[in-house]
Protein backbone atom coordinates (compact mmCIF):
# COMPACT_ATOMS: atom_id res chain seq x y z
CA UNK A 1 0.00 0.00 0.00
CA UNK A 2 1.40 3.39 -0.99
CA UNK A 3 1.69 5.72 2.02
CA UNK A 4 -0.42 8.88 1.83
CA UNK A 5 0.38 11.99 3.84
CA UNK A 6 -1.30 15.39 3.73
CA UNK A 7 0.33 18.81 3.80
CA UNK A 8 -2.25 21.03 5.47
CA UNK A 9 -2.49 24.54 6.81
CA UNK A 10 -4.63 27.60 6.91
CA UNK A 11 -5.15 29.69 3.80
CA UNK A 12 -1.99 31.29 2.40
CA UNK A 13 0.26 29.44 4.85
CA UNK A 14 2.72 28.21 2.20
CA UNK A 15 1.57 24.65 1.53
CA UNK A 16 2.46 24.72 -2.18
CA UNK A 17 5.78 26.41 -1.48
CA UNK A 18 6.64 23.71 1.04
CA UNK A 19 5.73 20.98 -1.47
CA UNK A 20 8.05 22.65 -3.99
CA UNK A 21 10.86 22.00 -1.48
CA UNK A 22 9.87 18.51 -0.32
CA UNK A 23 9.21 16.96 -3.75
CA UNK A 24 12.68 17.57 -5.24
CA UNK A 25 14.33 16.48 -1.99
CA UNK A 26 12.45 13.18 -2.02
CA UNK A 27 13.19 12.76 -5.73
CA UNK A 28 16.91 13.33 -5.08
CA UNK A 29 16.74 10.44 -2.60
CA UNK A 30 15.35 8.18 -5.32
CA UNK A 31 11.67 8.22 -4.40
CA UNK A 32 8.85 8.52 -6.91
CA UNK A 33 6.27 11.04 -5.72
CA UNK A 34 2.62 11.63 -6.61
CA UNK A 35 0.68 14.64 -5.43
CA UNK A 36 -3.05 15.25 -5.12
CA UNK A 37 -4.27 18.83 -4.79
CA UNK A 38 -7.68 19.36 -3.19
CA UNK A 39 -9.62 22.29 -4.64
CA UNK A 40 -12.91 23.12 -2.96
CA UNK A 41 -13.69 25.82 -5.54
CA UNK A 42 -13.53 23.71 -8.71
CA UNK A 43 -10.92 24.06 -11.43
CA UNK A 44 -10.40 23.87 -15.15
CA UNK A 45 -7.45 22.43 -17.02
CA UNK A 46 -9.00 23.22 -20.36
CA UNK A 47 -8.15 26.44 -22.14
CA UNK A 48 -11.14 27.78 -24.05
CA UNK A 49 -10.68 27.19 -27.76
CA UNK A 50 -8.04 24.46 -27.38
CA UNK A 51 -8.76 20.93 -28.62
CA UNK A 52 -9.40 19.31 -25.22
CA UNK A 53 -11.77 22.13 -24.27
CA UNK A 54 -13.58 21.66 -27.57
CA UNK A 55 -13.87 17.91 -26.92
CA UNK A 56 -15.44 18.63 -23.51
CA UNK A 57 -17.75 21.24 -24.96
CA UNK A 58 -18.89 18.71 -27.56
CA UNK A 59 -19.98 16.41 -24.72
CA UNK A 60 -17.09 14.01 -24.05
CA UNK A 61 -17.28 12.57 -20.53
CA UNK A 62 -13.57 11.74 -20.51
CA UNK A 63 -10.87 13.65 -22.36
CA UNK A 64 -7.28 12.40 -22.35
CA UNK A 65 -4.36 14.39 -23.66
CA UNK A 66 -1.08 12.59 -24.17
CA UNK A 67 2.41 13.56 -25.25
CA UNK A 68 5.81 11.87 -25.09
CA UNK A 69 6.46 13.55 -21.72
CA UNK A 70 3.12 13.51 -19.89
CA UNK A 71 -0.53 12.59 -19.94
CA UNK A 72 -3.65 14.05 -18.34
CA UNK A 73 -7.18 12.76 -17.97
CA UNK A 74 -10.09 15.13 -17.55
CA UNK A 75 -13.16 13.25 -16.38
CA UNK A 76 -16.59 14.65 -15.58
CA UNK A 77 -17.85 13.33 -12.26
CA UNK A 78 -21.26 13.36 -10.66
CA UNK A 79 -19.78 13.82 -7.17
CA UNK A 80 -16.49 14.67 -5.54
CA UNK A 81 -14.27 11.61 -5.18
CA UNK A 82 -12.97 10.59 -1.79
CA UNK A 83 -9.26 10.63 -1.19
CA UNK A 84 -9.39 6.84 -0.92
CA UNK A 85 -10.98 6.57 -4.37
CA UNK A 86 -8.42 8.93 -5.88
CA UNK A 87 -5.35 7.30 -4.34
CA UNK A 88 -6.55 3.83 -5.38
CA UNK A 89 -5.92 4.90 -8.98
CA UNK A 90 -2.32 5.99 -8.35
CA UNK A 91 0.39 3.46 -9.18
CA UNK A 92 4.12 3.44 -9.77
CA UNK A 93 5.11 5.77 -6.92
CA UNK A 94 6.59 5.40 -3.44
CA UNK A 95 4.51 8.06 -1.69
CA UNK A 96 1.42 10.18 -2.32
CA UNK A 97 1.43 13.66 -0.82
CA UNK A 98 -1.79 15.59 -0.77
CA UNK A 99 -2.18 19.32 -0.46
CA UNK A 100 -5.27 19.96 1.58
CA UNK A 101 -7.60 17.20 2.69
CA UNK A 102 -7.31 18.51 6.24
CA UNK A 103 -10.43 16.62 7.33
CA UNK A 104 -9.28 13.24 5.99
CA UNK A 105 -8.02 10.49 8.24
CA UNK A 106 -4.39 10.66 7.07
CA UNK A 107 -1.10 11.66 8.71
CA UNK A 108 -0.65 15.42 8.45
CA UNK A 109 2.28 17.79 8.15
CA UNK A 110 1.01 21.25 9.01
CA UNK A 111 2.50 24.42 7.56
CA UNK A 112 2.17 27.05 10.28
CA UNK A 113 3.05 30.72 9.84
CA UNK A 114 3.34 32.18 13.31
CA UNK A 115 3.66 35.66 11.80
CA UNK A 116 0.18 35.29 10.32
CA UNK A 117 -1.77 32.98 12.66
CA UNK A 118 -2.05 32.56 16.44
CA UNK A 119 -2.41 28.80 16.54
CA UNK A 120 -2.06 25.77 14.30
CA UNK A 121 -5.00 24.24 12.47
CA UNK A 122 -4.45 20.67 13.70
CA UNK A 123 -4.09 18.93 17.02
CA UNK A 124 -2.52 15.55 17.85
CA UNK A 125 -5.86 13.75 17.39
CA UNK A 126 -5.87 14.95 13.77
CA UNK A 127 -2.92 12.60 13.06
CA UNK A 128 -0.52 15.53 13.06
CA UNK A 129 3.02 14.16 12.76
CA UNK A 130 5.00 17.41 12.39
CA UNK A 131 4.78 21.17 12.03
CA UNK A 132 6.78 23.07 9.41
CA UNK A 133 7.01 26.67 10.51
CA UNK A 134 8.72 30.01 10.06
CA UNK A 135 9.33 30.07 13.82
CA UNK A 136 11.74 27.39 15.06
CA UNK A 137 10.98 28.46 18.66
CA UNK A 138 7.30 27.56 18.29
CA UNK A 139 6.33 25.07 20.96
CA UNK A 140 2.57 24.76 20.59
CA UNK A 141 2.36 20.95 20.58
CA UNK A 142 5.24 19.43 22.55
CA UNK A 143 4.71 15.86 21.27
CA UNK A 144 5.11 16.89 17.62
CA UNK A 145 8.42 17.67 15.89
CA UNK A 146 8.71 21.33 14.87
CA UNK A 147 10.96 21.87 11.86
CA UNK A 148 11.83 25.09 10.06
CA UNK A 149 10.03 25.13 6.72
CA UNK A 150 13.24 25.88 4.83
CA UNK A 151 14.80 22.64 6.09
CA UNK A 152 13.51 20.28 3.41
CA UNK A 153 16.19 17.73 4.28
CA UNK A 154 15.01 17.45 7.90
CA UNK A 155 11.38 17.28 6.83
CA UNK A 156 12.20 14.52 4.34
CA UNK A 157 14.28 12.68 6.94
CA UNK A 158 11.16 12.54 9.10
CA UNK A 159 8.91 11.51 6.18
CA UNK A 160 11.41 8.84 5.18
CA UNK A 161 11.69 7.51 8.74
CA UNK A 162 7.95 7.49 9.42
CA UNK A 163 6.48 6.48 6.05
CA UNK A 164 9.05 5.19 3.57
CA UNK A 165 11.45 2.91 5.40
CA UNK A 166 9.95 -0.50 5.99
CA UNK A 167 11.42 -3.17 8.22
CA UNK A 168 10.98 -6.92 7.90
CA UNK A 169 7.81 -7.10 10.05
CA UNK A 170 5.78 -4.57 8.08
Q: Which pLDDT value is given to residue 168?
A: 41
Please, are residues 85 and 23 in contact by the beta-carbon 8 Å criterion? no
| Residuewise pLDDT in 10s, the chain (170 residues) | 899 999 999 988 999 999 999 999 999 999 999 999 876 655 566 778 888 888 988 888 888 888 898 888 888 888 988 899 999 999 999 999 999 888 888 999 999 988 888 788 887 788 999 999 988 777 766 688 999 999 999 999 999 999 997 544 44
Q: Which residues of 46-66 are buried (b: 16+ CB within 10 A; e: fewer)?
A: beeeeebbebbeeeeeebeee
Hey, where are the domains in the chain?
Answer: 4-43+79-164
Tell me the Ramachandran region of residue 92: left when phi exceeds 0, alpha when psi lies from -120 to 50, beta otherwise.
left
The upper half-sphere exposure of residue 54, i.e. CA atoms within 13 Å in the direction of its Cβ, equals 3
Please, are residues 129 and 109 in contact by the beta-carbon 8 Å criterion? yes
Domain 4-43+79-164 in CATH: superfamily? P-loop containing nucleotide triphosphate hydrolases (3.40.50.300)
d(CA 113, CA 18): 12
Q: Which pLDDT value is given to residue 141?
A: 65
Amino acid sequence: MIPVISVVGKSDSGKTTLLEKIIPELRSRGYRVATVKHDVHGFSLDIPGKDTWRHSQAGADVVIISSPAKMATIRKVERERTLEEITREVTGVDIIITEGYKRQDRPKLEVFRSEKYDSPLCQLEDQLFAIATDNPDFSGLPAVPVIHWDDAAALCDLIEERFLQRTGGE
